[in-house]
Amino acid sequence: MAKRKTTYVCQECGYESPKWMGKCPECGSWNSLVEELEASSASRGHTIGRDHQATQHPESITAVEMQKEPRMTIAMEEFNRVLGGGIVPGSLALIGGDPGIGKSTLLLQISAQLADQQLPVLYISGEESVRQTKLRADRLGINTELLYVLAETNLRDIVYHIEQTNPALVIIDSIQTTYREEVTSAPGSVSQVRDSTSELMRIAKSKGIPIFIVGHVTKEGAIAGPRMLEHMVDAVLYFEGEQHHTYRILRSVKNRFGSTHEMGIFEMKEEGLREVMNPSEIFLEERSQGAAGSTVVASMEGTRPVLVEIQALISATSFGNPRRMATGIDTNRVPLLMAVLEKRVGMMLQNQDAYIKVAGGVKLDEPAIDLAVAVSIASSFRNQPTKPEDIIIGEVGLTGEIRRVSRVEQRVQEAAKLGFKRVICPQNNLEGWTPPDSVEIVGVNSVQEALEAGIEH
């Protein structure tokens, strides 16, 4: 019997090496190479030659027949929105999040809502027993006969039960506990995760069954396992939030069947997760009136406008190098905007510490929030409050100009819905649409004009 060779596989990126190395040359992570046995030649399959008979043949794209399958929707409209309108049959979705954030609770509630529509659902848990899953179901008030639970980690048995049950939805919690007998490495390794996901993808596509798999996250917040795992699935969802706060955010970072960067807001209650239909009210309910350094911006999260408060605190530094800290926005944008205020407005911020925070724990990454951040910094530096009924929107250029933003009409309508009276936005965004009668639109071309309009004197 031939001796089986060993290889060293990086557990972060999947890089393979014939010998052990302390640092992975592909991703740069330390002590991530783990010894694994190479697959035998029999498991790899025979060499493909000219005599190979293919099961499918290429077709002209004009001859492909379309079969429109309706999406499966649940009672949670927030979840439907993040997926682009509902669950697509035959799709494979990956959900990641910190431990204890509520991933299993969310998926169990989704399963129960589909089962209430007389659709069988198979919930497979590799981390909890059937009785533990039953305890969570009792706490959530779930009692439906078409929700089937299974405690299994062997992929061969999982595939067998999927074929026997023929469910409308399958939940795998989690992919790190699933293993294939043919792969010699331990569960959770790169090889096991990759092969298990590949087999589940084959089941989903061939049988038209949507499958949701739970992925553990690393200490950096990314989904554990090889990066190719996110490329294999149809949708990647992140369930975010603080364990000591009640609000949770379901964010889409990849979706082949809908818009990316969609966001759904949930509130964790004793009886489970409850969707929040108007998150703007929550993010603004504790806003201080007449406080310096506070502005409100209308940010687009996918197709939905959300009003969020941005707070800034500028204070004289006690050290040689002033601090620049930001929570909820890119830290690199803070010194950039402060440099624009120094050069174009004349504010001496070189000896000032700057602390920027997006209230409510939301992460904003679009350029339309630049002007609101700049006005917050200037308001705190001058110790002059902004007008509490203003919304500030705009991208700031390095020469101090205010550049146009997208979907300004939807942002203004959301501001009018919550009772704001004035919107400060780029001058170039004023053409081609009619604002609501209850909102005054102020167009600005430079940061200096925005500060004169937005800060009380």
Instruction: Tell me if 363 is assigned to a ligand binding site.
Output: no
What residues contact 146, with CB distance under 8 A and at least 6 apart? 115, 118, 119, 120, 121
Q: Is 100 annotated as a binding residue?
A: yes
Task: Give the β-pairing of 33-37 and 6-10.
Answer: antiparallel
Amino acid letter at 122? L
Say whether 98 counts as a known binding-site residue: yes
Say if residue 103 carries a ligand binding annotation: yes
User: How far is it, in rounded angstroms, from Cα 157 to Cα 329?
Assistant: 45
Please check if 102 is assigned to a binding site.
yes
Residue written as tokens 């596989």? 9
Task: State how far the Cα of 180 lies from the Cα of 252, in Å rounded to an integer.
Answer: 29
Does residue 123 contact residue 106 with C-beta atoms inside 8 Å? no
Nearest partner of 2 among 33, 58, 40, judged by Cα: 40
Instruction: Please tell me whether 101 is known to bind a ligand.
Output: yes
Binding-site residue set: 97-104
Binding-site residue set for ATP: 97-104
